[in-house]
Amino acid sequence: MDLSPVWISLKTSVVSIIITFFLGLWAARGVVSVRSTKAKAWLDGLLTLPLVLPPTVAGFFLLYLFGAKRPAGIFLEKVFHYKIVFSWQAAVLAAVVISFPLMYRSARGAIEQVDANLIYAGRTLGMSERTIFWKIILPQARPGILSGGVLAFTRGLGEFGATAMIAGNIAGKTRTLPLAIYSEVAAGDMDTAGKYVLIIVAFSLLIVAGMNLRGEKKDEFTGGDRKKIK
């Protein structure tokens, strides 16, 4: 069995989650700070769109933007002499776009649930908005933000449609685990496809179960502290 799809998937997921985590956090902070209800609704809809669109549609838009004869593609080729389509970086781009809404919405929900009184207290003490975000909002919203990161990572690991559109299915280069499963099924090799399925299911289960166990341990710890305080 060729293990290159495993390493490509892990490499793609790790790089994409680093980008998605900070991008989603920044977007969530920006949308929460918007005062206009209508503007916030439109921004939220735009940023959430990749979550509700079929991945192939998102892949079509990426291909339309970054294709060799499209604006972004022409710019990259002329300035950096680099063609992103059908490259490993294209697989990262697809994973970022598809997993971004999960990170953004989780981070936004966590930020919005932070006690407003703590924020007002920080302002009363003369703290800047940036300091308030890093010292008050981020620590309070950390569980929700980390959960969003885990979900975004697993979503990037399982990305198929957009990756196939912009990165292709090149063995040893852009063939991730989902693409490898599709290729083996199409070739009639159900045994190899089943092994790939077991690998990706095991990865996903370990990640999600680890997140849940961590949450339960934290609840037990805080619960114990509350009992001692009482």
Query: What string of DSSP letters covers 102-137?
Result: HHHHHHHHHHHTS-HHHHHHHHHTT--HHHHIIIII
Record the pTM: 0.86
Q: Is residue 230 part of a domain?
A: no
Does 226 map to a domain? no
Whether 155 is covered by a domain: the verdict is yes
Q: What is the CATH number of the domain that holds 207?
A: 1.10.3720.10
Count: domains in the chain: 1
**pLDDT tens per residue across span 64-118:** 988 878 888 888 888 888 888 899 999 999 999 999 999 999 999 999 999 989 9
Instruction: Report if residue 227 sits inside a domain.
Output: no
Tell me if 228 is assigned to some domain: no
Whether 229 maps to a domain, the answer reads: no
Q: Is the pLDDT of residue 230 over 50?
A: no
The terminus-to-terminus CA distance of the chain in angstroms comes to 58
Q: Mean pLDDT across the chain, nearest whole number?
A: 88
- Residue 187: predicted pLDDT: 92
User: Does 26 map to a domain?
Assistant: yes
DSSP assignments along the chain, one per residue: ---HHHHHHHHHHHHHHHHHHHHHHHHHHHHHH---HHHHHHHHHHHHHHHHS-HHHHHHHHHHHHSTTSHHHHHHHHHH----TTSHHHHHHHHHHHHHHHHHHHHHHHHHTS-HHHHHHHHHTT--HHHHIIIIIHHHHHHHHHHHHHHHHHHHHT--HHHHHHT---TTTT--HHHHHHHHHHTT-HHHHHHHHHHHHHHHHHHHHHHHHHHHHHHHHHHHHHHHH-
Read off the pLDDT of residues 184-195 as tens digits, 9 standing for 90 and up: 999 999 999 999
Is residue 20 in a domain?
yes
Q: Which residue has the higher pLDDT, 216 or 222?
A: 216
pLDDT value at position 189? 93
Question: Domain limits at 66?
Answer: 3-221
